[in-house]
Every structure is written in C-alpha cells, then in structure tokens.
Amino acid sequence: MALRVGIGLVTFNRREILAGTIAHVRAHTRRAPMEFIVADDGSTDGTQQMCRELGICRVSGINRGVAWNKNRALFMLSRVLNCDVIILLEDDARPVASAWEDEWIAAALRWGHAGYAGTWMRDRFLSGTGTAADPVLAPAVTAQCAVYARWALSRAGYFDSRFKGFGHEHVEHTLRLMRHGFGGVFRPEDAGNPIVFYPIEGAVAAVDSATYFDFERAEQNRILMERFLVDTDYRDPWRGPEEEAALRNEISAALRIMPPSTLNPVVQIRAGSAGDSAGSAMGA
C-alpha cells in the first residue's frame, strides 16, 4: 500500500505570509497525490476568502490557541484523511527546494517525529548534519516545522488542549513523544544536556513575521508544562465531550465545503475519497 502523506499549514491573522507559504509549498512539493490543508485559528483578515479562492481546504473555528489549532490539522490528516505521515508547517516556515518533503518523510519513517533545525539555533547544535539519516542533536527544539508518523501519534497522542494561546505546548508534546521512543533521547548521565532532540533542516526557511506572544499566557503554559513533565499518558486532541464535539464539528464543516476544485497538479486533496474516509473516522 502506498504511503499516504499530508501537509498541514497552521495560521492566524497572517494572510499575506500565509499566501507566500502556500505558493512555496505548491512550487516545491513534488510528491502527488498529497493531502494539503490549512488550519486557521479564527482569522479575521480575509484568510477564509483567500483559501476559498485558492481552492484549499480550510478547517477553522473560534480562536483557541496553538495547541488546538495544530490538533485541527493533525487529527484531520491522521484520523480523517488517513495520512501515515503528517508534515506540520507554521505559516512563517517555507519550503525552499524542490522535493523538500522527501527528507521530512524519511525522518518520520526513521524516528517517528522530528522538529526543525532553525539556523538561529546553530550555536546549540551538538552534532549531526541535519538530514533524516543524521539529524542534528540539540538540547532545544522549535516547532515552525515538524513531522509526525501516525503510529507515533497513536502512542503519545496529540497536543494537550489545556495549553492556551501559545508557548511551551510543543515542548510538552515533543517530550511526551520522546518518552514513547520518538524524536529524541533522554541522557540523564549527561548533566549538561540531559534532553537531546532530533531536528532536521529539511530545506525549510523561516521568514520574519508578526508575533502574538503574550508573556502572561506563556508563563501559565510553562507552569502547565512542568506539571506534565513525567506524564506519558496518551492525549486525545480534546478534553471531554464538549471539546470533542467542537473539533469534530469544525472538521465536518470543512469537509462539507471542500470543493472538487481543490485538486491541483502538484498538491492534491482527493475530495471524494476524503469525504468517504471522513464518514467512518468521524463516526468512530
């Protein structure tokens, strides 16, 4: 059976940056068919209309923060569209070379999860060339691009929806994946670097963008993260029936309006089969 791959592009109120990243994804992605969706955290800047004009499936709802928005993409791609590998891009991280996705797919198949080796982190790299076969070893991680194998998500779960706004949610999720054997290693014998992540370069470059950083919210998230540091429990992308209904309704709404014109020659969304698979997954 052929490997099913999806790209989720997460965004909030950065329509122009998003448009440029969509153009880069379409220009440089060579694997087809491939699922391609935008997870939009309640933008009010015309993002919805732009996605419709570009023929891109957009899953959205009220603004709930980074953890929820990334779960929109991860759950839809892994459980609804049945992708084996999911590449998650923030809107300010862009592919810059043809077939950029191949290295990320290889990293998912080898490690289950990998993050992005941003150039601004180079002074913290311990070793490695940044490829899937030889990832960077680093005591820090950034979430502007990340890849997940579906089997890794099936073990560790999704982002914890108790994180609001943004800050620290990706660290907690990555550490939980690592405790299940994906994307890094714990080295308690090394007092200097007891936690080592496996980021790759993956032909992705970050662009300057506005930030919605809120120090108070980030501090609340840091405290929350510290509570979960040794918690390996699987997380659904929701907590409780109300959140589950909200996420499923957001995805159902996105699928209802996904038109056949979302097909394009480079990155494809198979509208008919996606609807079929969604029926069984959403009812599960």
Sign of the torsion angle spanned by Cα atoms 171, 111, 79, 99: positive
Mean pLDDT value of segment 71-85: 95
- The pLDDT, as a whole number, for residue 1 is 67
Share of the chain above pLDDT 70, in %: 90
Q: What is the mean pLDDT of the chain?
A: 88
Residue 42, φ and ψ in degrees, nearest 5: 80, 35
Contacts from 78-82 at CB under 8 Å and sequence distance 24+? 78/6, 78/148, 78/150, 78/153, 79/281, 79/284, 80/251, 80/255, 80/274, 80/277, 80/278, 80/281, 80/282, 81/4, 81/6, 81/35, 81/37, 81/274, 81/277, 81/278, 82/4, 82/277, 82/281
Q: How many domains does the chain have?
A: 1
Tens of pLDDT, residue by residue over 19-53, are 999 999 999 999 877 899 999 999 999 999 999 99
Give me the pLDDT at residue 214, please.
74
Question: Does the pLDDT of residue 148 top 80, yes or no?
Answer: yes
Element (H, E) at 172: helix 169-179
69 Cα distance to chain centroid: 9
pLDDT at 281 over 80: no
Full domain range(s) for residue 33: 5-282
- Per-residue DSSP letter, 158: S
d(CA 35, CA 42): 21
CATH number at residue 71: 3.90.550.10
All residues at 6 or more sequence positions from 263 whose CB lies less than 8 Å from its CB, including other chains: 55, 269, 270, 271
